[in-house]
């Protein structure tokens, strides 16, 4: 296995960050992504401000297990939030030693979005954090190519969520559009070739909203284990050698019926197998 495997918080969003760290360590993940700011208006917020008791508890669990925080999430640039709102998020990330801030482009004024993102990139740099935009198929910045343009203009990184990459019509050849080194992490999951029709679970972790949208239900509540669907995961891993992986597979129904430990164990096993296959295929291609 040639690259680290992290665990995205969305895979176990019901676990507060200190418990997430423990669960990740028990299943062999080397890092976690941690939600320090809500993604949706209806979400319950974990009290993860820098200096808070939960932040200190999380830091202690990180130190005792050897797990690190790779990224913190999630800040949406929506045209209304600015420096006053993102600075506490950066401070929360820095307290955990995070390397990346997950940013969503939700502003339909592209010039304003670019200016805001550039300012956020500069502020994040002061904390040793790379502000990285994640193209999301139902947001204003929806495609990998749009994210690559933003990276070229602002110096931001890119978080490649393969679900949204596929759902927005991305192809492996699109990956060459990004500036070298821009992709900070591959958020790994799988799914069917077309968006499935799904019923929202009666209870969503932290009270997330899905708006009854098939895309949002799939994204937040029902992704597939890597290697079990139709996504071109081997090709993506081969095209981005050495880029860290964060496994992002929320499956609310499975976790309720089988428990979080079984869920995380199956994610780790499947991801290890997938990365090994990708490494072997790349080696053969080089030969």
pLDDT digits over 32-83, tens only? 999 999 998 889 999 999 999 999 999 999 999 999 999 999 999 999 999 9
Indicate whether this model's pTM tops 0.75: yes
287 — pLDDT class (breaks 50, 70, 90): low
Structure tokens at 48: 């993860």
Residue 240: CB atoms within 10 A of its CB come to 19
CA gap 134, 103 in Å, rounded: 6
Rounded Cα–Cα distance for residues 282 and 279 (Å): 5
Residue 69 has a pLDDT of 98
Torsion angles phi and psi, residue 117, rounded to 5: -65, -40
DSSP 43: P
| Termini Cα distance of the chain | 19
pLDDT above 60 (res 182) = yes
Distance CA 114, CA 42 (A): 27
């Amino acid at each position: 296995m040639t690259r680290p495997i992290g665990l995205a918080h969305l895979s176990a969003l019901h676990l507060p960050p200190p418990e997430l760290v423990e669960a990740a360590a028990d299943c062999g993940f080397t890092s976690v992504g941690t939600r320090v700011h809500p993604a949706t208006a209806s979400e319950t917020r974990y009290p993860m401000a820098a200096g808070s008791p939960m932040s200190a508890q999380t830091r202690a669990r990180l130190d005792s297990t050897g797990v690190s925080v790779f990224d913190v999430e999630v800040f949406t640039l929506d045209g209304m939030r600015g420096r006053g709102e993102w600075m506490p998020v950066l401070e929360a990330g820095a307290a955990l030693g995070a390397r990346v801030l997950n940013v969503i482009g939700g502003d339909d004024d592209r010039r304003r979005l670019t200016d805001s993102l550039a300012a956020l990139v500069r502020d994040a740099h002061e904390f040793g954090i790379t502000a990285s935009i994640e193209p999301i198929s139902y947001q204003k910045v929806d495609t990998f190519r749009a994210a690559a343009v933003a990276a070229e203009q602002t110096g931001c990184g890119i978080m490649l969520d393969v679900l949204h990459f596929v759902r927005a019509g991305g192809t492996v050849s699109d990956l060459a559009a990004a500036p070298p080194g821009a992709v900070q992490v591959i958020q790994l999951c799988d799914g069917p070739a077309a968006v499935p029709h799904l019923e929202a679970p009666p209870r969503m972790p932290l009270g997330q909203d899905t708006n009854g949208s098939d895309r949002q239900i799939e994204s937040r509540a029902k992704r597939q284990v890597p290697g079990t669907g139709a996504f071109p995961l081997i090709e993506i891993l081969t095209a981005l050698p050495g880029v860290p992986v964060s496994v992002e597979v929320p499956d609310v129904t499975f976790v309720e019926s089988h428990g979080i430990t079984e869920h995380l164990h199956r994610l780790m096993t499947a991801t290890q197998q997938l990365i090994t296959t990708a490494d072997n295929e790349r080696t053969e291609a080089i030969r």
